[in-house]
Structure 1
Amino acid sequence: MLRVVLAEDAVLLRAGLVELLSRVGHEVTAAVGDAEELARAVAADRPDVVITDVRMPPGFRDEGLRAALELRRADPSLPVLVLSQYVATAYATQLLSGSPAAGGLGYLLKDRVGEVTDFLDALDRVASGQTVIDPEVVRVLLQQGTADKPLQRLTPREREVLAVMAEGLNNQAIAQRLTITEASVVKHASSIFMKLELDPAEGNRRVLAVLAHLRRQDPAA
């Protein structure tokens, strides 16, 4: 069972998520509709994981994501899963490029969650300290960094591998997704890390290192 704080301004979606999470055995300790309530709920009773939208009252811009950033600055070990229709690039890269030793992080796009079980699995993985990122989010972040010369060095296949890698998948899963051999994945991954001048660490550190690199190259971040 996970103790969850949920921040979602759409009343029906919020109620539906509370029902879903409760039905599978999780406890929603607070279900709120704006970023200020989110901060208060976490301060009052630290949850196992936070789920938050990006655009929330009063401005409906990026209040939820900025609140998540502040929560992680106060407690880097707090797992956060962003569930939104939007990719707020500057704040997303700041959130996702945190310390490899910090708690789990996720960024899913609502319209691309194909199965309820996929969402629940992502929630469990984030709560356990893993990183789960929708490949579309990675694609947008990579597009943002295309002016960076190291990124320009990546081949189309290497970009595909990098996008799937950022979901936290291991080499076998990447190979299955892209219908290539594991040996090819290892070769592409090694080339990616060499071109991006990154240490090819495994697991979450691998994903976060890539995103940290993108953030360093983004003057708006």
Structure 2
Amino acid sequence: MRVVVAEDTAILRAGLVQLLEEEGHQVVAAVPDAEQLRSAVKEHRPDLVVSDIRMPPTHTDEGLRAAIELRTEQPGLAVLIFSQYVETQYASRLLAGGSAGVGYLLKERVLDAQDFVDALERVAAGGTALDPEVVTQLMGSSPSRTTVAELSPREREVLGLMAEGRSNSAIAIALVVSERAIEKHVANIFTKLDLPVSSGDHRRVLAVLRHLGA
């Protein structure tokens, strides 16, 4: 796939480019700020953008705001936010605009390069990849937090894994329980959040994320 990387730290930017190219992807541009990100996406029309949040000139939320704008202008553009920070306000807007092809990973929690590449490829294919900490903070900032508060600790854990795009069987393996138990937790989550139950993993993730980003 064709990728634009936006990262103001030169060493990390070079590392991302090297990793992606070693995996057979084409990095059509690697830029240090949000303004150059906008220009690069308009020029190259990539399949995916990998962007930090805090970049020059203010080092606040330029990258995330640019991602929202670019998704609005190019609805099919996949975006993976890769940052040290969780910005709930703009992250909710990014997800509310349609969570297909959206990822949000925290740098310090990505411990394996292959996991990062897998998440990136899942997002590029129209899937979702969210760090559980991002999901937790979005849940806490959601206007529907009273409803979310009704989830049990285990249901919150399952919801976090659902938001990573994992299937029931994968969640069962991760939590060392039966798949039947996970199916029950998933049904309870949708009931408590007043969301329609769907047998499709991707559709259920989209429903949860739209709820959290509403």
**TM bucket by the smaller chain?**
over 0.9
Aligned to 2:161: 164
Aligned to 1:219: none
> If the length of structure 2 is used for normalisation, what is the TM-score?
0.95
Aligned to 1:41: 40
Post-superposition Cα deviations, 1:36-58, rounded to whole Å, max 9, x if no partner, equal 10010010110111100011111
Q: 1:192 & 1:19 partners in 2: Cα distance?
A: 40
Aligned to 2:30: 31
Tell me the secondary structure at the aligned position of residue 197 of structure 1: coil
Q: 1:150 & 1:57 partners in 2: Cα distance?
A: 38
Q: How far does residue 97 in structure 1 lie from its aligned partner after superposition?
A: 2.7
What is the RMSD of the two structures over their aligned residues, measured on CA atoms?
A: 1.4
Match status 1:55 vs 2:54: yes
Q: 1:75 & 1:200 partners in 2: Cα distance?
A: 30
Please list, as runs of the form range in 1=range in 2, the aligned pairs for 1:10-29 lying within 5 A after superposition.
10-29=9-28
Aligned to 2:123: 126
Q: Which amino acid aligns with 1:193?
A: F
Aligned to 2:114: 117
Q: How far does residue 214 in structure 1 lie from its aligned partner after superposition?
A: 2.2
Q: Which amino acid aligns with 1:98?
A: G
Tell me the secondary structure at the aligned position of residue 49 of structure 2: strand
Q: 1:200 & 1:107 partners in 2: Cα distance?
A: 24
Please tell me whether the aligned partners of residues 98 and 210 of structure 2 are also in contact (alpha carbons under 8 angstroms): no
Q: How far does residue 211 in structure 1 lie from its aligned partner after superposition?
A: 2.3
Please tell me whether the aligned partners of residues 54 and 86 of structure 1 are also in contact (alpha carbons under 8 angstroms): yes
Please tell me whether the aligned partners of residues 97 and 208 of structure 1 are also in contact (alpha carbons under 8 angstroms): no
Q: How far does residue 146 in structure 1 lie from its aligned partner after superposition?
A: 8.2
Q: 1:193 & 1:150 partners in 2: Cα distance?
A: 11
> If the length of structure 1 is used for normalisation, what is the TM-score?
0.92
Q: Which amino acid aligns with 1:199?
A: P
Post-superposition Cα deviations, 1:56-83, rounded to whole Å, max 9, x if no partner, equal 1111011000000001111121111111
Q: Which amino acid aligns with 1:16?
A: G
Q: How far does residue 179 in structure 1 lie from its aligned partner after superposition?
A: 1.2
Unaligned runs of 5+ in 1: 217-221
Tell me the secondary structure at the aligned position of residue 98 of structure 2: coil
Aligned to 1:106: 103
Please tell me whether the aligned partners of residues 4 and 26 of structure 1 are also in contact (alpha carbons under 8 angstroms): yes
Q: How far does residue 23 in structure 1 lie from its aligned partner after superposition?
A: 1.9
Q: 2:149 & 2:137 partners in 1: Cα distance?
A: 15
Aligned to 1:4: 3
Match status 1:153 vs 2:147: no
Q: 2:93 & 2:124 partners in 1: Cα distance?
A: 19
Change (3 A) 1:204 1:96: farther
Aligned to 1:191: 188
Please tell me whether the aligned partners of residues 144 and 212 of structure 2 are also in contact (alpha carbons under 8 angstroms): no
- Deviating above 3 A after TM superposition, structure 1's stretches of 4 or more consecutive aligned residues are none
Q: 1:213 & 1:153 partners in 2: Cα distance?
A: 15
Q: 1:185 & 1:131 partners in 2: Cα distance?
A: 20
